[in-house]
A and B are shown apart, each in its own frame.
Chain A
Amino acid sequence: MELHNIEKLIEKYFEATTTVAEEEKLRRYFSEDDVAPHLEQHAPLFNYFSKAKKERFTKPVPLKPRRNYLKWVSVAAIAVFMVGLYFYQPTPPPVTLADEYTPEEIESAKEALALLAMNFNKGTEQLYHLEEFEKTTNKFLTKNN
């Protein structure tokens, strides 16, 4: 190719006045083997550009998997929530006596219990005699020993 032309293009190239087509011409010239010796210094530059353009994005385009994943996470979350709701039993609030019985009932129950307690105490008083009895039997037992 006309060497003179290439030299001119290189000069224009460094002044950034070349067109895309002219730059393509330069790239093509330097990609060939018979580069003029005094121009060889520029070869790495143009060859690098050609090489750099070949670099590819090799990772997958990350659209489908991530979207689906998110969708299913929300579905799963809702499912778990529903199951939880189904089996959830609220702890009942503590039941007080006042809720279950009328004041009259409570009063009569209190009376009955008081009666019971009184009689019960009478019973325990009777038991006191038993205690005396045991003391005396114990006296006999120690004497015999």
Chain B
Amino acid sequence: MKQTEFLNIVLPFKDKLYRLAKRLLVSTEEAEDATQEILIKLWSKKNKMESYNNVEAFAMTMTKNFCLDRLKSKQAGNLKLVHSNYTDASTSLQSELEAKDSINWVERIMAELPEQQKMVLQLRDVEQYEYEEIEKLLDMKPTAIRVALSRARKTVREKLMEKHNYGIA
């Protein structure tokens, strides 16, 4: 397989890999490293790639496994600190920023979700995958996916309401 062919296959979904990695690892740098790692792995498997019927799903599963491994590994100890990646909300022009801020809250709230809910929410609401695809990617039963998704959505809604009611001033 030539490089251009490989790129044609990989480029359409490389952002999805990155976003999933970032959702799980939170840190931008970590996510970039993970994505590069996955792309290198894919490239080294390029000869077998023609036999996969869905390269994107395969790559997404790889990303998921890779990130979960990262989180489990010792190195992940460093990842706990990355909450400082978020921009500080207490800047001036509060009212103008408020609308934008509540969008950022969602990111923060999502970061607190359990990994499985994070992934389901990411794959469904951000990447708009169909349920059957998510089933394959995450190796979950359809009902489990719906439960996780519903729970994740409701949690985000509740937390978002809390923030709205208390305000951030």
Residues of A within 8 A of B (CB): 13-17, 20, 23-24, 41-45, 47-49, 51-53, 55-57, 59, 61-64, 66-67
Inter-chain CB contacts under 8 Å: number: 84
Q: Is B150 in contact with A63, judged by CB distance below 8 angstroms?
A: no
Chain B contacts with A in 75-92, Cβ cutoff 8 A: none
Question: Which listed residue, B14, B102, B161, touches A61 by the CB 8 Å rule?
Answer: B14
Q: Is B32 in contact with A59, judged by CB distance below 8 angstroms?
A: yes
A-side contacts of B126, CB under 8 Å: 49, 52-53
Per-position 1/0 for B29-64, Cβ under 8 A of A: 000100110011001000000000000000000000
Q: Output the least CB separation between A73 and chain B (Å).
A: 16
**What are 7 A-B contacts defined by CB distance under 8 Å?**
A41-B161, A44-B105, A48-B104, A52-B107, A53-B126, A57-B32, A62-B40
Q: Is A57 in contact with B35, judged by CB distance below 8 angstroms?
A: yes
Q: In the assembly, what is the distance between CA of A15 and CA of B153, in Å?
A: 8
Q: Output the least CB separation between A129 and chain B (Å).
A: 92
B149 touches A (CB below 8 Å): yes
Residues of B within 8 A of A (CB): 3, 6-7, 10-11, 14-15, 17-19, 22, 32, 35-36, 39-40, 43, 99, 102-107, 122, 124-130, 145-147, 149-150, 153-154, 156-157, 160-161, 164
Q: Binding site of A, secondary structure by majority: helix, strand, loop or mixed? A: helix
Q: Binding site of B, secondary structure by majority: helix, strand, loop or mixed? A: helix
Question: Which listed residue, A17, A44, A51, touches B146 by the CB 8 Å rule?
Answer: A17
A-side contacts of B107, CB under 8 Å: 48, 52
Chain A residue nearest in CB terms to B13: A57
Q: In the assembly, what is the distance between CA of A48 and CA of B160, in Å?
A: 12
Q: Is A48 in contact with B103, judged by CB distance below 8 angstroms?
A: yes
Q: Is B106 in contact with A61, judged by CB distance below 8 angstroms?
A: no
Q: In the assembly, what is the distance between CA of A84 and CA of B147, in Å?
A: 67
Given A15-B150, A66-B40: A57 touches B164 (CB 8 Å cut-off): no
Q: Is B103 in contact with A51, judged by CB distance below 8 angstroms?
A: yes
